Structure 1
Amino acid sequence: MTDLQPLLQCTNVTRRFGSLVAVDRMTVSVEKGEILGIGGPNGAGKTTFFDVVTGITPASDGRIVFDGQDVTTLGADRACQMGMARTFQLNAAFDHMTVLENVEIAAYYGRRPRFLPGLRLGSVTKRAARDALDLVGLSDKAGMTVAELPVLDRKLLMIAGAMATDPRILFLDEPVGGLNTDEIDFVMDLVKRLAAGGLTIVLIEHVMRFLLALSSRVIIMHHGAQLFEGPPHAVAENDEVVEVYLGQGTKDRLKKHFSLNAEAMA
């Protein structure tokens, strides 16, 4: 791979479920080190697009290239082991196991293929799990069972599990859904730290201040297809986006937000 190539290139990626086209010829490139934000109404195909790119759901058509390699037909395990990690909208974890055990499993299976049965953790796996918990601020809860965790900590646990796989690109699916303002700010600071460390991030989010504050570029999806692509400040200026997604009230708030930020930087 040369520096001129994007880290991830999706070309005409499509996913059909019978007559329903959930993802419709999505062509997206992601540059190394950027934060790409994806928004859109419920049912726009955002999560299905993530599922296809990360190998959970096979593409019906199109091509996906990661780090110069065609990964279109890879399953989720191999995609993760190649450096593509993700989180989910729902809090996916083993509730009866401890926080540390969950992240150790992610580190063990997410870094390289495992062909033999049994789970024997080496020092590298254990260290990766501990480092990931330190990174998200869950070290003091390592011995708790996941069932005891509040919503924020469950979301942080998913991020820790993803980071324990040593990813080169991280897909975050609604990482602040259901959180209060202070919790959203906490996750925002965490994502900024991950990006500052060189990690490439693609995120889906309905909380617009989170999406627009973090993203260097934004894509808005509608009916499985790309409706808009551009810088965050241009989202509220697009009439189609306002009509199908934002609404006039949100548009006005976003315009005020970017106006105030521009004045503060002047």
Structure 2
Amino acid sequence: MTESKPLLICEDVTRRFGSLVAVDRMSMSVEKGEILGIGGPNGAGKTTFFDVITGITPASGGRIVFDGHDVTRMSADRLCQIGMARTFQLNAAFDHMTVLENVEIAAYYGRAPRLFPGLRMGSETRKAATDALDLVGLSGKAGKLVAELPVLDRKLLMIAGAMATQPKILFLDEPVGGLNSDEIDFVIDLVRRLMAGGLTVVLIEHVMRFLLALSSRVLIMHHGSLLFEGPPAQVAENDRVVEVYLGQGTRERLKKHFAVSVEATP
């Protein structure tokens, strides 16, 4: 029986800005259906790593293989069209347009090349957009201007736009930053539903409750390189991770969290 290959493979991926090495020979693989979490202090290179993988910023070195194809030099639009979608830390949407119009644009341009865009989106595009809004719970706000949306809805809109492209893998960059506890729980439930549908997810997040609740495996970056890789329960056991990122207080809270989780397991 032939073993399935990882959906995404990064080999020694590097990004330099002059003398600054923002991403330093990062290697990782992501299996189909996995949720991989990436953490680390500010300036660790996490978002730049995302930018390189998703084609927004070209790699200075290394190799990226997605779904069996070398995509190292592929543009962001083509990567999206072959199944790689992402969200951003900051709100990325057209404020003067409606929620539905924003997701329709993502569905129209994100699923196939459009050398000669038509005047109409078409029924398939409309269905992909409305299905995505239903998925994230924004169908009731389809006609609202994006400028009127609160923070949570703007984050959900980015996820809806990404899902409307029908991705194989979704990159989420700090999807719960600035949200309250109930809103974080809502996004946790949403990501779990996406995973249940077979989607592969890679996420960056500083909110450890979110990162560890969802991830089957965690990477911690520091100074552009890999500091730790392992299961969520082992993050707080690593002295270097505690020293450069978590701190003793967070370490103790995480230890208590996982101790309670083990006791609650039948």
- TM-score, normalised relative to structure 1: 0.99
Who is 1:212 aligned against? 212
What's the secondary structure of 2:220's corresponding residue? strand
Instruction: Measure, in 2, the Cα distance between the counterparts of 1:95 and 1:55.
Output: 24
Deviations 1:104-150 (A, max 9, x none): 00000000000014442111100000000000000000000000000
Corresponding letter in the other structure for 1:181 = S
- The residue correspondences of 1:229-248 to structure 2 (distance < 5 A) are 229-248=229-248
Instruction: Measure, in 1, the Cα distance between the counterparts of 2:12 and 2:119.
Output: 39
Identity percentage over the alignment?
Answer: 82
| Cα offset, 1:12, TM superposition | 0.2
Who is 1:78 aligned against? 78
What's the secondary structure of 1:167's corresponding residue? coil
Who is 1:171 aligned against? 171
Corresponding letter in the other structure for 2:57 = T
What's the secondary structure of 2:116's corresponding residue? coil
Corresponding letter in the other structure for 1:261 = S
Matched pairs, number:
265
Structure 1: 4+ residue segments shifted above 4 A: none
Who is 1:125 aligned against? 125
Listed as ranges, the gaps of 5+ residues in structure 1 are none
The alignment yields a C-alpha RMSD, in angstroms, of 0.8
Instruction: Measure, in 2, the Cα distance between the counterparts of 1:257 and 1:77.
Output: 41
What's the secondary structure of 1:14's corresponding residue? strand
- The residue correspondences of 1:104-119 to structure 2 (distance < 5 A) are 104-119=104-119
What's the secondary structure of 2:234's corresponding residue? helix
Who is 1:264 aligned against? 264
Deviations 1:217-242 (A, max 9, x none): 00000000000000000000000000
| Cα offset, 1:174, TM superposition | 0.2
Who is 1:192 aligned against? 192
Corresponding letter in the other structure for 1:28 = M
Instruction: Measure, in 2, the Cα distance between the counterparts of 1:190 and 1:155.
Output: 12
- TM-score, normalised relative to structure 2: 0.99
